[in-house]
Structure 1
């Protein structure tokens, strides 16, 4: 089974890049399939924006306070591992210039030997958009256009041009190209817009904090939409994120039950965020793998 690890950083204190690289080597050795890196460019003491995934709100977000830039960390992990898939869960596409993003992601894919997966999302924090001087309104439309431009920039043709509402550029050279013939774009979210974005631009789905009923309903709708567009579900990699509810082995047994049912429903990979601090990290990660049946 494919099991990924998300939120690869110490449980408390300053973020240490060496720690993250060592942890990535460990989870590769244990047998996890992938590592997934979250993104927030900046954080705030409190939020007016509603955190959409957990009841903890800003408290949950602050667990990631000080996280490294995901593409920079992905490059470091690529240099210290050999088989581990590396991805973003998720990269907030509308906040960055798409030409720069295309080049950075392609560079990571080259440096990793074609092991990168581009998990993408629109984000939820208006405060973050404001700080970056990017309009929060119509971020979905902006993201769609950016993804289209990025695909063009990754194409085999040397010269690329694009003309849209949010991005426009005359013929230019953008290198490197990705190592993979089609670098996977894994679309995060749970909305109707997410579903449409997967069908038009995506190679997979990155759901998060979904019940089994949610998964079943969403994938059924996705299957219908894919068929209507002349695409097959076999073209997609379906992933769901699961954050452990606690730190005990009983909590991890609950994770196992969730994972088993997710696979039964057709999910290809479950990306888990076990609540494990940096104390006895190796011992706990190995025990977690045993309990969830890796």
Structure 2
């Protein structure tokens, strides 16, 4: 059973990095395959933008005060673990300069010995785009251009050059290169544009809060598109995020049932977000993993 864990560090934006490293060491010991780090640069007391997932999630976003920068935290986790894969779930690509992002991601991949996976998305908060002075409109097209440019920057050649609508640079040197020959891009989202992005750039899917029927429909749409592009589904790692509905053992048993069915449907890895607070953190983490069958 391949299991990752996300939102590992509740309230991590107000905690020390050392606490995060200790928690990562714990989940590596327990047997999780990977840790996935969320990203938002800033949060707001209120949102006009519609949160695209369940309404309960929106209320939690509204009261979140912050998280560590995922690439900085990924570097700290890489330095304190040896086998745990590390990824973003998901990094809002259009909000940041792609040359800077490409260099940071490659650096994390090198520091981790090739254990990084780049989960990417377009984001949903117009307020956040506004605070960063980045246009919210056409963010999908901007993201596609940025991903194409980053693939060029990560290529083996010493000199990189790219001409696109949203990013355009003369021949330059961009180092380091990733440790992995092809650094995995895991595409988030459920739309037609997300499907097209997986086919064009992706090495996997990062779904979130999807029912089993949603998963079947998504895979059913993706398979013929991959075939039409001359690509195999075997090239992809399909992941789906599961957030616990509560903090009781029955809720965790429900997580296990969800995971088992998702894997049967063709999902390669389920990324869980258990509701575990600060009190008895290690005890509850071990019990949660025991219920899941790790």
Within-5 A mapping of 1:209-248 = 209-248=209-248
The whole-number CA distance in structure 2 between the counterparts of 1:92 and 1:280 is 33
**Residue pairs, 1:1-294, within 5 angstroms:** 1-10=1-10, 14-56=14-56, 58-62=58-62, 64-294=64-294
Counterpart contact for 1:50–1:57, Cα < 8 Å: no
Contact 2:11 2:65 in 1 (8 A): no
In structure 2, relative to structure 1, the CA distance for the partners of 1:137 and 1:12 (3 Å cut) is closer
How many corresponding residue pairs?
294
Deviation, structure 1 residue 11: 5.2
Deviations 1:130-178 (A, max 9, x none): 0000000000000000000000000001101111110000000000000
Cα displacement string for residues 79-111 of structure 1 (whole angstroms, at most 9, x for unaligned residues):
000000000000000000000000000000000
| 3-state SS in 1 of match to 2:220 | helix
Inter-partner Cα distance in structure 1 for 2:64 and 2:272: 15
SS of structure 1 residue aligned to 2:14: coil
* Aligned partners of 1:15 and 1:67 also within 8 Å: no
CA RMSD of aligned residues (A): 1.1
CA contact (8 A) 2:13 2:66 kept: no
Q: Which runs of 5+ in 1 are unaligned?
A: none
Q: Closer, same or farther in 2 for the Cα pair 1:12/1:38, shift >3 Å?
A: closer
Q: Counterpart of 2:82 in 1: which secondary structure?
A: coil
CA distance in 1 between partners of 2:12 and 2:178 (Å): 35
Question: 2:108 and 2:124 mapped to 1: Cα distance?
Answer: 26
Q: Compute the displacement of 1:69 (Å).
A: 0.1
Q: Name the SS for the 1:230 alignment partner.
A: coil
- The CA deviation at 1:58 is 4.1
For residues 253 and 130 of structure 1, the distance between their equivalents in structure 2, rounded to whole angstroms, comes to 41
Shift in Å at residue 293 of structure 1? Answer: 1.2
What is the rounded CA distance, in whole Å, between the counterparts of 1:58 and 1:232 in structure 2?
A: 36
Deviation at 1:9, TM superposition (A): 1.1
- 2:229 and 2:63 map into 1 onto residues whose CA distance is 40
Distance 2:13 2:228 in 1: 49
Equivalent-residue separation in structure 2 for 1:219 and 1:6 (angstroms): 23
| Alignment check: 8 A CA contact 1:12 1:277 kept | no
1:56 partner SS: helix
SS in 1 for 2:152: helix
TM-score normalized by the length of structure 1: 0.98
Q: Are 1:54 and 1:60, in contact at CA under 8 Å, matched by a contact in 2?
A: no
Q: How far has the Cα of 1:56 moved from its partner?
A: 2.4
The 1-side partners of 2:12 and 2:280 are apart by: 13
